[in-house]
Every structure is written in structure tokens, then in C-alpha cells.
A and B are shown apart, each in its own frame.
Chain A
Amino acid sequence: MLKSLTVFAGVLTAALALPHGAKAADPDPRNWDAVLAEAKGQTVYFNAWGGSENINSYIDWAGETLKQRYGVEVVHVKLDDTANAVAKVLAEKAAGKDEGGSVDLIWINGENFASMKRQQLLMAPDWTTGLPNWAYVDHENKPTILTDFTIPTDGLESPWGGAKMVFFHDSARTPADSVPHSSAELLQWTQENPGRFSYPQPPDFIGSSFLKQVLIETIADKSKLGQPVTEASFAEDAAPLFAYLDKMHPNLWRGGKAYPQNYPDMKQKLADGELDIIFAFNPSEASAGIAAGELPDTVRSFTYSDGTLGNTHFVAIPYNAAAKAGALVLANFLISPEAQARKQDPSIWGDPTVLSMDKLSAEDRAAFEALDLGVATLKPDELGPALDEPHPDWMEHIEGEWLRRYGAAN
């Protein structure tokens, strides 16, 4: 007993005596050799959503490769919500921990990025355009790489993958010629097929994206979406959206009294036969689901003829990261042709690349062209136009209004 107490006292003392991190200048990606030298031996804590085994395996692979080539250790900190990592950095700032922070790299976009940028929680200035592999990035043709939900990225986050809203149905139950090709047609479809469509409950990311899709299609003046919300006219601007939802909700799954939790929940419900039409932000999700035995091989994809939401997801480095050099090396590796081609393989992950095929060597391009995108994946020219994300302010406003109107429906 005495011994245990001594051990305990020791633990207590050790816990209280841990030193704080030491100050160092930020590494400069334009001096890459110095970055590599500094990164060697560092451990990068990569904070990324951990809800998908496919993605977790991919991150494991990236970590092992980095360790072999550059001596950088990567630890995947699996988040159930990216905002937790934002909150962690904020808590560290609150506690005055301006160096040696616990988050080195964070998988991010949209309102989380907007929030961190506004609170100055990110490593600055521009580091992404200095990365050696930036040369391959298709920032000319993919405007969402430089503008994240209308917020200029200013080189504070490095692109990782593309995303586009795509719908899925099971052709064994729902014939391909009966699926809707616009929000208006979807509304009509739900009236003809009550109880077989729903969307994840906002503020789930995918659910909120559905609201934005309808907003873009129904708002009278689309140019307003590039700007922050005008409080005075918001009710009027959003009126068509909520009229649409009011009409749709009685015919939703469970009559709109409960909602799926998130995308994977919808995928499960498609397999269970509870839902007939679902949607995701990754065009190859259906093929990946078939490959994993989660969905029947009769599932197919479709999009809207006038376009669906498209965006880019990124990685960013917090201002107080402990292993900034290691984080730079990882961010650079993630946009290498090798890592991007592997990521686009549906049997690995199936996430669309951010690179420009024209900028790649013939050999690297061949690797992309050799990929079998899967039976349920639409070809790039079938994906339809990409609609720009509205300013993050809109998302906050329509989420708030959604909660106010439907959040206490019971």
C-alpha cells in the first residue's frame, strides 16, 4: 500500500512538472532541404475525421511511406467531428500555449476553415504555394482550390481532394429512368414515393449541403450567395427554400420526425431498403460501398442536369503546431501524383484528385488513366456542372433557421 502511494505521488509530481514547448521559427517550404532536415525525427499528429476505415487505411499508408522516406512519424488522431480539433487549438490558445500545440495538421474546409482563419489559428503566411508538389495542382481550372466556400484560401490550407454531390439509387428497386434530375423533380418524386427519401439532420455537413443545393436552385438572386447574408432580406431570400422543405417534409422518411445521422447512416438505410435515394459528396462512394459488400451491386449514380455542389477539401497547419516541418512534408506528400492516384482508386478510397493531368509526366498520367473507377461511378464528363458553395455565412443562417423551424417538430 505504501509503495502504491509512493508510485502515485511520483505520478502526480511527474504530471505537474512537465515542461512547456520551446520557441522556434516557422520552417519555410521554399527552402525544402531545410524543411526535410528539420522534419526528420518529428511526429506529426494529423487530426482527421476517423469514421471511415478506407480513409484510415489510406492515412496509415501515407504515414508508413513518410516514415520510410523522410523519417517522419505520422499519428492519425481520429476525430468524430473536425470542430473538435478546432476547439482543441482554441483551448490551447485560451491557455496561452502558443508553441508545442497538440495538433500538427488538420483535415478541413468550409466553415471550420473560415472560423480558424478568422480567429488567426492557422500557420501564416502562405505556405502552400511554396510546396514542391504545388506545381502539379490544378488551381487554374478548379477555382474551389483557391476559394474555399467563397473565402480566399490565401495559401493557408493545401488542397487534398475534390468533392461533388452525387445521388445514388438501387436500380433493382428504382429504375434509372424514374430518378429526378433537379430539386424540383426530387420534390415531385418524394410525393410519388413517400417515406423513401431523407437527408442527414443539419448541422451534419452532408445534410446542410443538401439545404444549400436547394437554396442555390431556388433563390431568386443567385449573386447574393457569393456575399455574406444580408440580415434584412434573409427571410425573403430563403423563403423559397423553406417553402420547398415545408412541402417535402411530410413525405420524408419517418414523416420528417427523425433524420439519418450522416452519410454512412443513409448508406446503411439504402442497403436496408428504408431509403431509395441517397446522396454523398464523393462520386465513387457507391462503387466503394459495393466493393466493401455494404451495398448491392445494382446501385447506380446520377446527378442533376443543371449541376450540383462541388468543393475541395484541404489540410491546414495550426499556428502553434509542434511539428510544422513534418506537417509540411506530409501536406506535400498528399499532393504528390503517387499519393493522389492511390487516393482516387475506389478500392482504396476513391476521392477525386486535385491535380491537373496536363501538368503530370506521361508515366504519372498513365497511373491515373489505369484506374478502374467502378461500375457505379459516373465518368468525369457525366458528373455535370459544379455549383459553387455559398459564403459560409449562408450555411450558418440556414442551419439556424432550419433548427428554429423544424428542430422542435415533435
Chain B
Amino acid sequence: MTGGVRLARLAPPLTLAILLGPLAFGLTGTALPALGYLPELGGESFTTAHFTALGEVPGITRSAVLSILIGLMTTLVALGAVAAFVASDLGSSGFVRMRRMISPLLSVPHAAAAFGLAFLIAPSGMLMRLVSPWLTGLDRPPDLLIVNDPWALSMMAGLIVKEIPFLFLVTLAALPQTRHVETMRLGRSLGYGRIASFTILLWPPLYRQIRLAVFAVVAYATSVVDVALILGPHLPATLPVRLIDWMNDPDLETRFLASAGAVLQLGVTLTALIAWIGLERIGAYMVGRARNCGHRMQRDRVVRAAARLVMIASAAIVFGGIALLALWSVSGLWQFPDALPANFSLRSWMQALPRMSGPLFTTLAVAGLSTLIALVLTILCLEREYETGRGRGGGALLLIYLPLIVPQISFMFGLQVLSIWLGVDASFSALVLAHLVFVLPYVFLSLSDPWRAHDRRHDLIAAGLGMSRARTLMRIRLPMLTRAILTAAAVGFSVSVGQYLPTVLIGAGRLTTVTTEAVALAAGGNRRVIGVYAFMQTLLPFLAFSIATGLPGLLFRKRRGLQV
């Protein structure tokens, strides 16, 4: 193990090369065509004409502004709900129940949750079927614009119900590193309500730990494609959807416009992040005001009830949506206003299963390997950071978060050209590397804060007892951080399972995963087939998260201090 620790010296540069190499090349490969340079298409001189053309695209401003608003609103509501719920119920038995219920939701792919929600709330959807025709008198669905609404409300709802579990789990992982029991007790003893105690005393240090995860949510929500396709507005669509349309345009000249759009996407995501930092400032100011004015705010029952309601509703929506998709996967004819299918059929499963083994194996192998590599690199990097004493401030490791913040579509085409140029497209190792670009930051993001917040006095005591550094790592730190490590692994695994663009582009269609198959079939819009694949897509990360949450409880049955 000494060798392992010594190797830690190589870990940060290696990690950076893996992350930033593809990113830099990909962005260059996007920026050059945006500026008019792509000799294969006859673009041999630099020009800003494509940006001018982009500015003249009808509705482009609305698309861009909408993407920014979606990023901010989604994050604000999801984070608010999680924070209010943690404040309200931390330490209660309801909290434990909610943790068990919410955590598996993380494993539901965004697209599957979106499909489920769409079928729930559409005019011909489940809710309307349940009340028709006996209550509404309708035997035909009403012509109402609910899904794909121009203000993207249904899209935001779809994103919020999916970001809540993510933020909740990240918060849970960070919670043990704060002295939350004592802090809340202090606030309560000073007469503050639960929400007020939490907001004033516990939230500031807690938020600092989950801040980058929140940034990732902002960036994701501004650049998401699949959820926007299913739930988002059409006329005009959000910016990322329009980018994909342009990239898919048979007229290859449109690639210049797409590249310019990809650069704009970069700006949109950045703007949303800057606006978010502004919101942070406002929030900090308001917390300060609340603290200074001295109100105890004990009457917080309404807020607490609302937080619980949002949490339960988000769980119910996602679970309900998945259950409905599962029902679709075995349904025959199922017409409005029937609440149940007229008949059942295993046809979709019989057709899909024999063809699923290859993609399933690729999915597992790529996700397993990329997660393992990401874990090892992350732990070595963190160990090195500990050793040199350079923390979050000066370390170049902050760059690790770039792949989460730079929208995928902004650098994927360039990356594809790189992989073909190297002759490694469609190879298994290239696919693992491509996934690693996205898995590594998430693993690092999940693990680094708990790791850094780990009480160093444990290590000092171990050193005092004569333990070597490697031994301290193995015997003290890793066991104490088992929960965080397993959570990070589960996050990494599910990130890999969910990757669509990198798999399609680097796998060149030859290496397919459950997700690429699902999206290809979703193009056909058949709810039965979508049901089959959404179920499989959900099952894999679900298993990973079950292990991550179940195993520590099993391992630490007899160690009270290591339980949440």
C-alpha cells in the first residue's frame, strides 16, 4: 500500500489529463467551426457570420432565456424542498423513512421519469382517466396544452422531481461532517423554530459542502436534452434541443450554425451559474437579516408541511410514473378513458429480452470499470491533497468540475473527431475513457467534501500510535468514509449507465448500452417498448444504490458512531 500512496503523486496530473484533454480538444473542435473553420465542409477562413446567423434564428433569445430560467427555477425549488425537509424532519423517524423512499429515486433515469410524468399529467393521461368519464363526463380527452407548455412548467416539474433525490442524497452524505445534532439542539434551546435553527446555524456550513453539486444541477438543467424533448416546449424549444436538431440536420452546412449554438449554450450555462451565485449572495444576506433581527420563527408548521408534501409528491410522481410505464410494458390495447389496459401481452418483453444481453453486458462493464478507475483516482487525488496540504482554494483540482459545468453537447462533436483521428472510436477502452470524463467529476464531487471534512484528529491519533500513512488510510479513513465512498460509487455507476451522447458518439453505434437502446427505441414513441427499457435502465442504478445504502448499515451494525 505504500506504493499506492506514493503513486498518489501521479494521480492529480493524470486525472487532469483525462478530464481536460478531451474537454480542451472537444471545445476546440466546436469553436473552430463556430468561427467558420471546418475545411471538410469548405470552411477555410474565419468569420463571425455564423454567430450573426444564429442571432437571426427565430425565437433564439427565448430559447436561451428559457434554458437559463429552467436551470435557476429547477435548482431553487429542488434545493428549497430538500433544505426545508431536512430542517423540518432531521432526526425524526419520518426522516429515516423518507431517506429509504427517496434514495432509490436517484436510480430512475431522467428520461424514464419524464415519460412517466408525461403520461400522468397529459389530457389523455392517467390522472384524467381516473376521473373520466364518471366525474368529468368526458369520453374524449380535452384539448389542453399541459405537457410541452410554452413556459416549460411541466419540464421544470420533471426535472425537480429528479433533482430532489440527487440533492437530498448529496446533503445526506455531507450531513455527518457537520455537528448537526448539537447545532440544532443549540438553536432550539435558544428558542428558534426548527426551520430557523437550521437556516441560521446549520445551512451555511452544510451548503458550503454541497455547493458544487448544486452548480452541477444548475448546469445540467440548462443543457438537458432528453427531458426537454419529452416535456419541454416546442415552439420554440429550449436551446439544447434546437442544437441537437441542427446537428442532426441532413444539410451538413447547418453544422456551422450548430457549433455557434454550442458556444452560445456554453454562455447560457455560464450565465445561469453567475445568476445562481447572485442568488446565493441574496440568500446569504437574507439569512443574515433573519439572524440579526432575532425573530425565533417558531410558527413554521406550514413550511414544514409544504416541504414534506413536496418530498412525498416527488417520490409519488416518479414511482407512479415508473409503475405506469411497467404497466404499459405488458399492456395490449389501452384506450382513453380506460384506467386499465383492455388486455395484457408479454409481446414487448419477448421481443426485447433476447436482444438486451449484449447492451446489458456493455453497460455493466463500462459502468463498473469507469467507476472503479474514478474511485481509485479520486481517493489518490484526495490523499495527495491531504499530503501537500493544498485544499480546495489553490489546487488545480477545482478544474475537475469543468466537465460537469461545460454542457456535453458543447464539446462532444470535437471529441468524436478526436477519437476517430486516433483510430480509437468504437473501442471499449475509448468508451470507458469517455465515460470517465463524466463519471470522475461526479465521484469526486460526491466524495471530496465528506473526505475533506473528515476530522483530521483521527489521523493525528493514528500517527501518534505509530501507524504509517498508508495504514491510517486503510484502517481509519476508508472505513470511516465507507458510506461516502459507496455513495460516490453508486453515483458514478448511475452516471455511466445514463450516458447517452458520449456512448453514441464514441461507441459509434457499435458499442451500445441499455440507455442508447432505450433512446433509439424511444424515437418510436411506443410506450410499451419504452416501459421495458425504462425498467431495465432503472433497475441497474437501483441495485447500485441499494448496495450503497444497505451495506454500511450491515457493516456498521455494531458501531453506533458510524451510523447516520
Contact = CB atoms under 8 A, between A and B. Distances in A.
Interface of A: 1-2, 4-5, 8, 11-12, 14-16, 18-20, 45, 47, 49-53, 56-57, 60, 75, 77-88, 90-97, 102, 110-112, 114-115, 119, 194-195, 201, 203, 253-255, 257-259, 261-262, 264-265, 267-269, 271-274, 292-296, 396, 403-404, 406-410
A253 B143 contact: yes
Interface in B21-67: 38, 40-41, 58-59, 62
B233 A410 contact: yes
B250 A410 contact: no
Given A255-B145, A261-B525, 11 more contacts: A8-B373, A11-B429, A11-B432, A18-B427, A19-B423, A85-B509, A87-B255, A96-B421, A258-B233, A269-B124, A294-B526
Contacts of A77: 508-510, 512
Contacts of A274: 123-124, 141, 143, 336
B150 interface: yes
Contact of A258 (B38, B148, B429): B148
Nearest to B10: A5
B252 A115 contact: yes
Nearest to A256: B235
Contacts of A57: 351
Interface string B417-447: 1001111111101101100000000000000
B7 A1 contact: yes
Nearest first, the 6 closest Cβ-Cβ pairs linking A and B are A408-B59, A51-B524, A77-B509, A410-B150, A195-B143, A264-B525
A20 B144 CA distance: 55
Contacts of A268: 525-527
B148 A84 contact: no
Contacts of A90: 40-41, 252
A262 B523 contact: yes
B420 to A, nearest CB: 4
B225 to A, nearest CB: 11
Given A79-B520, A95-B421, A96-B421, A84 B333 contact: no
Nearest to A113: B250
B354 to A, nearest CB: 9
A263 to B, nearest CB: 8
A182 B121 CA distance: 35
B552 interface: no
B477 to A, nearest CB: 14
B429 A14 contact: yes
Contacts of A257: 145, 150, 234-235
A1 B1 contact: yes
B380 interface: yes
B376 interface: yes
Interface in B234-292: 234-236, 245, 247-252, 255
A296 B520 contact: no
Interface stretch (B340-348, B453-461, B485-493): B340-348
Given A2-B7, A53-B521, A77-B510, A258 B235 contact: yes
B335 A271 contact: yes
Contacts of A96: 421
A81 B252 CA distance: 14
Contacts of A16: 422, 424
A408 B239 CA distance: 12
A272 B124 contact: yes
A83 B249 contact: yes
Given A12-B433, A296-B335, A115 B250 contact: yes
Contacts of B148: 254, 258
B526 A50 contact: no
Contacts of B416: 88, 91
Given A47-B509, A294-B526, A407 B235 contact: yes
Contacts of A20: 423
B58 A12 contact: no
Contact of A18 (B351, B423, B512): B423
A88 B417 contact: no
Interface string B384-397: 00000000000000
Nearest to A52: B524
30 contacts: A1-B4, A1-B380, A4-B373, A5-B10, A8-B376, A15-B422, A16-B424, A50-B520, A50-B523, A51-B523, A53-B526, A56-B355, A75-B510, A78-B509, A81-B523, A87-B252, A97-B420, A102-B510, A114-B250, A115-B251, A254-B143, A268-B526, A269-B124, A271-B333, A273-B139, A273-B336, A296-B333, A396-B251, A408-B58, A410-B150
Contacts of B3: 2
A45 B509 contact: yes
B427 A60 contact: no
Contacts of B333: 271, 293-296
B347 A95 contact: no
Nearest to A406: B235
A295 B430 CA distance: 43
B335 A273 contact: yes
B332 interface: yes
Given A51-B524, A262-B525, A254 B420 contact: no
B32 to A, nearest CB: 11
Contacts of A293: 331-333, 343, 345, 347
Contact of B7 (A5, A18, A102, A255): A5
Contacts of B427: 15, 18
Contacts of A85: 509
- Using C-beta atoms within 8 Å of the partner chain, give the interface range for chain B: 35 or more
Q: Which of B62, B249, B336, B355 lies at the interface centre, i.e. has the most chain A CB atoms within 10 A of its CB?
A: B249
A264 B530 CA distance: 12
Contacts of B233: 258, 410
A84 B248 contact: yes
B452 to A, nearest CB: 20
B529 interface: yes
A159 B334 CA distance: 37
A4 to B, nearest CB: 5
Given A51-B520, A273-B141, A4 B236 contact: no
B252 A258 contact: no
A237 B229 CA distance: 33
B193 to A, nearest CB: 42
B214 interface: no
Nearest to A51: B524
B259 to A, nearest CB: 12
A408 B523 contact: no
Contacts of A267: 525
A88 B419 CA distance: 12
A53 B423 CA distance: 32
A320 to B, nearest CB: 11
A20 B3 CA distance: 37
B196 interface: no
Nearest to B39: A94
Interface in B321-340: 331-336
A403 B58 contact: yes
B268 to A, nearest CB: 17
A15 B525 contact: no
B248 A81 contact: yes
Interface string B519-553: 11111111111000000000000000000000000
Nearest to A403: B58
Contacts of A407: 58-59, 235-236
Nearest to B528: A294
A88 B247 CA distance: 11
A409 B345 contact: no
A111 B58 contact: no
A180 B109 CA distance: 43
A34 B331 CA distance: 49
B491 to A, nearest CB: 19
A50 B519 CA distance: 9
B420 A91 contact: yes
Nearest to B59: A408
A89 B373 CA distance: 32
A254 B123 CA distance: 11
A5 B510 contact: no
B89 interface: no
